[in-house]
A and B are shown apart, each in its own frame.
Chain A
Amino acid sequence: MRVTATSDLVGHEARNRDAGPVIEATGLRHTFRSRRGNVDAVAGIDLRVEAREIFGFLGPNGAGKTTTLRMLSTLLPPTGGEARVAGHDLVREPRRVRESIGYVGQQNGADRQVTGRTELEFQGTLYGMGRSAARRRAAELLATLDLEEVADRNTGTYSGGQRRRLDIGLGLIHGPRLLFLDEPTSGLDPQGRARLWDEVRRLREGGMTIFLTTHYLDEADALCDRLAIIDHGRIVAEGTPDELKRQIAGDAVTLGVGGDVQVALDLLAGQPFVREASVDGGAIRLYVDRGETALPALLRVLTEAGIELRTTSLARPSLDDVFLRQTGRSLREQAAPAPDWARWVGR
């Protein structure tokens, strides 16, 4: 079941391509000129996104996420730097780039007075597909995105989730090798978000690379293989969610032991993977590099020394801790979506 659905969504174009970086950018920059001076929306960023990964761009509103996405998808010419997207030069071969990528913006790209099916078929022909090929592909996507029931209704009647899925269908119609998603789950209810995450993971399983922006910490954490944290147009941290969190201070392990706490503490503090050890209210608190591998090792050390282990807990730093350390601000406080006008002013 799953495999069929995957191949339907991805289309034949996306598979069997060489591995290697799908996005390579150096010093990519966009400066907006205005009467009050120039604003560096994106102040020179380096990026490398490998094939078949879900790469996330995490940052507050106005950090430069959308501007970067629009540059990488040829919608906005960079004012500096260079980039290769899907193996083609962004500035010199925009047409080749467009053929290889799908892009789903924050707004709904479908006209409210047109049916979902018509929109998908039209989009297919814009990518150079013949009419019958476009028709087949549209029907396929409508089925996999669970839109068959509303396919012949005007998109103005769709629910938020249906519209978002149609948007994604519009970006997938030509079976791109790279898909850009700008704040894909913003405005969706929890079920809609979970469903979209599943959809994105299935696409990756099918061989697609996904580049998405988000200001949701949990989304970046749960969905992305790797992410870059961006603030004021600069990348302030980059890595897998786990790597980023590990930069902070390591994982916190709390152990409740029977017997002499001090003996256990001395024993554990001597282990090479323990960075910091202390006693906190009768329990032992350790900071370790990798909690998930440290725990079994700690357990073994204690067992060998004949010390009884009563309770354990493992706490990991969140991405918000990472953001806080890099920028001095919490992302959580700024997670509210910007008003509509901010998009227009911000650009």
Chain B
Amino acid sequence: MGRPLSRGEEVVVRAFRDTWLVFRRYLGMTVRNPAWIVIGMLQPLLYLFLFAPLLKSVASIRGFPAGGAYNVFVPGLVIQLGAFGAAFVGFTLIAELRAGVVERMRVTPVSRIALLLGRALRDILVLVVESLLLVLLALPFGLSIHPSGLAVILALQALIGLLMASLSYTLALVLRDEGQLAGVLTTATLPLLLLSGVLLPLSLAPDWLQTVADFNPLSYAVDAARAVFNDHLTDVSVLKGVVILAVLAAGSVVLAARSFNRAIA
């Protein structure tokens, strides 16, 4: 009590406070314009309503994982939402860079990492809310999940969101151009999607394709999510997915924070 904070502690306290401030700003903007949440959910919902029914007849073939069509497909859909929902957040940053909004914040003593984390936390919260809605909307179709499993899924989703948002912001800071960012994102996301087993499980894939997919971190997330939805919370794939994504997310945060610190030159 009463001990003055050391310099290091002060930096950390400030980083938390500033992150909270920045988070509140961007959350406020989302709340005032909630249309984006709906738009973000549109694609996964279309998959749920228009694509998942096709899987019902496929679910019986050899190689298709146990658990029924929805318990196999919805986990993938959730991961897809996480990965690609956050992948495009860089566009808002480019607009702000161009308008001078970021510069005006950078000239204050605000913690540099807070400028990144505050935004990313908002992105994560939006993702978690969307994922929760998606799971709830899928329940009437025959999806089943244990509440503790749902918590694990949402935590996993937060990691994916942090990873993708950080990467997206880094790209935005490096490219500074909407056209280029769109090019990079669409080029990168499609193979990531196809090699993740989101649409159809990779257990159906030939060996070489599975080997390639082993290099896609999202495939581990999908495996982990499927295990969770099948109530195998202690399955090694869950731990593997969480650890891999946590490491990657941490790395991407460092990368993005450095770009935030250096950029705008």
Residues of chain A touching chain B, judged by Cβ–Cβ distance below 8 Å, are 73-77, 95, 98-99, 101-103, 105-114, 118, 122-123, 125-128, 167, 170, 344, 347
CB closest chain-A residue, reference B96: A111
Docked CA distance A122–B33 (Å): 19
Verify A113–B107 contact, CB threshold 8 A: no
Verify B109–A107 contact, CB threshold 8 A: no
The answer to whether residues A75 and B29 also contact, given A111-B101, A125-B21, A347-B265 and a CB cut-off of 8 A, is no
Verify A112–B29 contact, CB threshold 8 A: no
CB contacts (< 8 Å) of B106 on chain A: these are 75
Task: Tell me which of A108, A113, A126 contacts B108 (CB under 8 A).
Answer: A126
CB contacts (< 8 Å) of A73 on chain B: these are 107
Docked CA distance A347–B98 (Å): 13
The answer to whether residues A75 and B176 also contact, given A122-B21, A122-B25, A125-B21 and a CB cut-off of 8 A, is no
Docked CA distance A27–B134 (Å): 59
Verify A113–B29 contact, CB threshold 8 A: yes
Map CB proximity to A onto B175-197 as digits: 1 under 8 Å, 0 otherwise.
01000000000000000000000
Task: Tell me which of A98, A108, A114 contacts B29 (CB under 8 A).
Answer: A114
CB distance from A165 to the nearest CB of B (A): 14
Docked CA distance A113–B265 (Å): 25
CB closest chain-B residue, reference A107: B100
CB distance from A124 to the nearest CB of B (A): 9
Could you jot down 8 A-B contacts, CB within 8 Å? A103-B104, A106-B100, A107-B98, A107-B103, A126-B18, A127-B109, A128-B109, A344-B176
Q: Is B125 an interface residue (CB 8 A)?
A: no
CB contacts (< 8 Å) of B104 on chain A: these are 103, 105, 109-110, 123, 167, 170
Q: Is the interface of A mostly helix, strand, loop or mixed?
A: loop
Docked CA distance A54–B208 (Å): 70
Task: Tell me which of B21, B29, B107 contacts A103 (CB under 8 A).
Answer: B107
Residues of chain B touching chain A, judged by Cβ–Cβ distance below 8 Å, are 18, 21, 25, 28-29, 32-33, 96, 98-101, 103-110, 176, 264-265
Count contacts between A and B, CB distance < 8 Å: 66
Task: Tell me which of A74, A98, A109 contacts B101 (CB under 8 A).
Answer: A109
CB contacts (< 8 Å) of B18 on chain A: these are 126
Docked CA distance A103–B103 (Å): 9
Given A75-B103, A113-B33, A122-B21: 8 more A-B contacts, CB < 8 Å: A77-B265, A98-B107, A98-B108, A101-B107, A107-B103, A109-B100, A109-B103, A126-B110
CB contacts (< 8 Å) of A113 on chain B: these are 29, 32-33
Verify B99–A98 contact, CB threshold 8 A: no
The answer to whether residues A98 and B176 also contact, given A105-B100, A113-B29 and a CB cut-off of 8 A, is no
CB closest chain-A residue, reference B264: A75
CB contacts (< 8 Å) of A109 on chain B: these are 99-101, 103-104
Docked CA distance A110–B103 (Å): 10
Docked CA distance A161–B110 (Å): 28
Verify B21–A99 contact, CB threshold 8 A: no
Verify A110–B105 contact, CB threshold 8 A: no
CB contacts (< 8 Å) of A110 on chain B: these are 101, 104
CB contacts (< 8 Å) of A77 on chain B: these are 265
Most buried by A among B21, B25, B99, B107: B107
Docked CA distance A114–B27 (Å): 12
CB contacts (< 8 Å) of B33 on chain A: these are 113
Docked CA distance A107–B96 (Å): 11
The answer to whether residues A95 and B109 also contact, given A105-B104, A114-B29, A126-B18 and a CB cut-off of 8 A, is yes
CB contacts (< 8 Å) of A118 on chain B: these are 28
CB contacts (< 8 Å) of A126 on chain B: these are 18, 21, 105, 108-110
CB distance from A347 to the nearest CB of B (A): 7
CB contacts (< 8 Å) of A98 on chain B: these are 107-109
CB distance from B26 to the nearest CB of A (A): 10
In the A-B complex, list the 6 residue pairs whose CB atoms are closest, starting with the nearest: A107-B100, A109-B104, A126-B108, A103-B107, A98-B109, A126-B110
Docked CA distance A102–B107 (Å): 8
CB contacts (< 8 Å) of B108 on chain A: these are 98, 123, 126-127
Verify B99–A112 contact, CB threshold 8 A: yes
CB distance from B101 to the nearest CB of A (A): 5
CB contacts (< 8 Å) of B176 on chain A: these are 344
CB closest chain-B residue, reference A98: B109
CB contacts (< 8 Å) of B32 on chain A: these are 113
CB distance from B265 to the nearest CB of A (A): 5
CB contacts (< 8 Å) of B96 on chain A: these are 111
CB contacts (< 8 Å) of A347 on chain B: these are 265
Docked CA distance A198–B189 (Å): 54
CB contacts (< 8 Å) of A122 on chain B: these are 21, 25
Docked CA distance A128–B25 (Å): 15
CB closest chain-B residue, reference A104: B104
CB closest chain-A residue, reference B107: A103
CB contacts (< 8 Å) of A102 on chain B: these are 107
Task: Tell me which of B21, B28, B98, B107 contacts A74 (CB under 8 A).
Answer: B107
